[in-house]
Structure 1
Amino acid sequence: MSKRPRSSKSSFSKWFPVAFSVLLLTIAASLIGYFIGLHQAQDDLISERRQSQKLIEQIRELAAIDESNLTSVRSKDNTNEKEIRRLKKELEDLLKRERMHEEVKPQHEYAPAPPPPPEKRSLRPAGSEAKLVIIMDDVSYAHDVKAIQSTGLPLVMSFLPPSSRHPDSALLAKQQHMYMVHLPLEAMAFDEVEPNTLTVESTEDEIEKRLSILKQLYPHAHYMNNHTGSKFTSDSEAMDRLIRVMQKEGLQFVDSRTIATTKGREAAAKYGMRYLVRDVFLDDKDGVENVKKQIKEAVEKAKRYGTAIAIGHPRVDTIEALKESKDLLKEVHLVSIDQI
């Protein structure tokens, strides 16, 4: 008897339970894995959150430490700042004292062009008194005043207007019976520009305001001579404005004659004012003997023409030369600027 082949239905029935069981096991394993993974993920997430929270707390602690350190640093910075300011102030004071004791160099007064020959003047009438005015320019500090007074001579002090470098010049002037103002005017070239220097561009209104302030600072000053000014005094229009304002303010200009082409004489003549002008510079060269030669020249001019104006500075050489020239100076009458 021949064997019959197994039917496909019989095979399917045999393997279906096994396959189904494997599928169930697979699904179950997957689900179990999923839930285990989910739980693990949740645990990991919780752990990460805890770590994050811990990190945040650490950051906060560090921030608090940094803030404390920052406060400390700021405190140190403030201390350092104060120390720096103190040292800076000491340095400024030291430099100021050094500048105060520096020799006053008159060369900043002179323009490159030499002064012209003096104009013809009438000779002093026989028997009349020879008068000499000696103006001391650039007076700015108490030691300048003291040095000038140490000569025992009636010298005329011309004070620079107050500035941050010499703030007390007006107060020092008020202690003097007679004084002048050393008016800063624009030069061809400056060593150091004084604050509020009048320039050739200064309007009449600006000049008037400046002179008004100076009159308040120096209430007894009726004479002003120029500090530098080679550019200003050689400009006809600028000098016209200045002399016009000075006439209105009751002020007299004394020309330091720092340039050959000064227009001071023309401006003074236009407004019917006297023209007072420097005859001799005493200390254009260093050295006591050089200053003494200039003093002698000033005395000779005063004796020849009846009056003369000399300009010097409170320098060591100049002060010494004046002291050593007292006998020579007895040949003339030393007077104030308002006495010629």
Structure 2
Amino acid sequence: MKKGKCMVARTKVYLYSAAVFISATLCAAVPPAFGAGLSQAAHHSAGQKATAAQLAEPAAPNGGRSSRVLPAEDSARRGRVAIIIDDFGNGMRGTEEMFALPVKFTVAVMPFLPTSQKDAARAHEQGLDVLVHLPMEPRQGKPEWLGPGAVLTRMSDAEVRKSVEAALDNVPFAIGINNHMGSRVTGDERVMGIILAVCKERGLFFVDSHTNYRSVAGKMAQEMGLPPVENHIFLDDVHTSGHVAKQMRLVREKALNQKYCVTIGHVGIQGKETAAGIRSGIAELKDSVEFVGISELVKDQCQWNPGVTLP
């Protein structure tokens, strides 16, 4: 992958008939950096909505989530959306409602909590991506909000590495890390260098939740040969289902404008409201975007081929 740029995205399109399997591959240009910051929302006409017939794949044991193969002309117009839901691991409000969503999303699990391993295993069984939602020191906020196993800037190099590796070992099936809080850590090159080094050694990637607009995570990831991935839109910065549904419309515009969008919501005190807003948004977006796991998006947008490396 070239520095500062993601490789050309590849979309595989399959059409099934009774006895014939036809495949075609289309390539579409992507923006310079997969982790590029917020852009102005583009307005799209109704003509950009998918209208062609969609063919259903055979049912799979994925929690009832559909995975549809689209005609080439339809797929070319559709953006891709990776929804990440943070704060699993503590039996928080909205957990069941999130697991009942009808589309793919990514489960970000905090380590060392009562349901951390259970939630990660459940997500994996449903065919969902799992991230370690790693607690990281913020510039502001109460220490108790971090939870166990937090990475702090006052830690030594060895202590940071030990904390990151322990968190990864505690959450099964994780394919990457994203930050819980962490505005101070994501601005610290020393600490982020260690976190990203562990990711590279284990064949993982780091998703910058974007709690710090001066984050060095994306720049350092590129320098280390990792995909620079970041959140574009928080769904529940206001904790109402109506606001979440409104944010989902912004997600649609972002995805259609730049071909993809990464967005984050949460389980927790308002978890049911967030889930309701997402479900409402899915109903509106289903004909114009494709919902994917974060690993699928990273592999396609950045030609990311994970591999374990020696420290």
By the TM > 0.5 criterion, same fold? yes
1:222 aligned counterpart, secondary structure: strand
Task: State the partner residue of 2:278.
Answer: 322
Residue pair 1:282, 1:312 contacting (<8 A) in 2 also: yes
Q: How far 1:201 sits from its partner (Å)? A: 2.3
Which structure 1 residue ranges, 5 or more long, are not aligned?
Answer: 1-115
Q: How far 1:339 sits from its partner (Å)? A: 0.8
Work out the number of aligned pairs and report it: 219
Q: How far 1:144 sits from its partner (Å)? A: 4.1
The match for 2:140 among 176, 186, 189 is 189
Residue pair 2:85, 2:107 contacting (<8 A) in 1 also: yes
Q: Which has the larger radius of gyration?
A: 1
Q: How far 1:152 sits from its partner (Å)? A: 2.2
Q: C-alpha separation between the residues in 1 aligned to 2:39 and 2:281?
A: 27
Higher relative contact order (CA 8 A, sep 6+): 2
Task: State the partner residue of 2:119.
Answer: 172
Q: C-alpha separation between the residues in 2 aligned to 1:224 and 1:139?
A: 13
Q: C-alpha separation between the residues in 2 aligned to 1:208 and 1:296?
A: 39
1:188-209 CA-to-partner distances (Å, cap 9, x unmatched) read 1223231221011233322322
The match for 2:215 among 262, 266, 275 is 262
Q: C-alpha separation between the residues in 1 aligned to 2:255 and 2:158?
A: 38
TM-score, normalised to structure 1, is 0.60
Instruction: Spell out structure 1 runs of 4+ moving beyond 4 A.
Output: none
- Pair 1:339-2:296 in alignment: yes
The match for 1:138 among 87, 90, 100 is 87
The match for 1:118 among 32, 38, 59 is 38
1:166-208 CA-to-partner distances (Å, cap 9, x unmatched) read x222222112223111000100122323122101123332232
The match for 1:160 among 110, 123, 126 is 110
1:325 aligned counterpart, secondary structure: helix
Question: Which amino acid in structure 2 is aligned with residue 265 of structure 1?
Answer: G
Residue pair 1:201, 1:238 contacting (<8 A) in 2 also: no
The match for 1:298 among 232, 248, 251 is 251
Residue pair 1:288, 1:321 contacting (<8 A) in 2 also: yes
Q: Counting strand residues as a fraction of each chain, which structure ranks higher? A: 2
Residue pair 1:283, 1:291 contacting (<8 A) in 2 also: yes
1:2-44 CA-to-partner distances (Å, cap 9, x unmatched) read xxxxxxxxxxxxxxxxxxxxxxxxxxxxxxxxxxxxxxxxxxx
Q: C-alpha separation between the residues in 1 aligned to 2:175 and 2:146?
A: 24
Q: C-alpha separation between the residues in 1 aligned to 2:37 and 2:206?
A: 21
Question: Which amino acid in structure 2 is aligned with residue 323 of structure 1?
Answer: R
> Superposed, which structure 2 residues align to 1:1-340 within 5 Å?
118=38, 127=76, 129-142=78-91, 144-163=94-113, 167-177=114-124, 178-191=129-142, 192-314=145-267, 315-330=271-286, 331-340=288-297
Q: How far 1:310 sits from its partner (Å)? A: 0.3
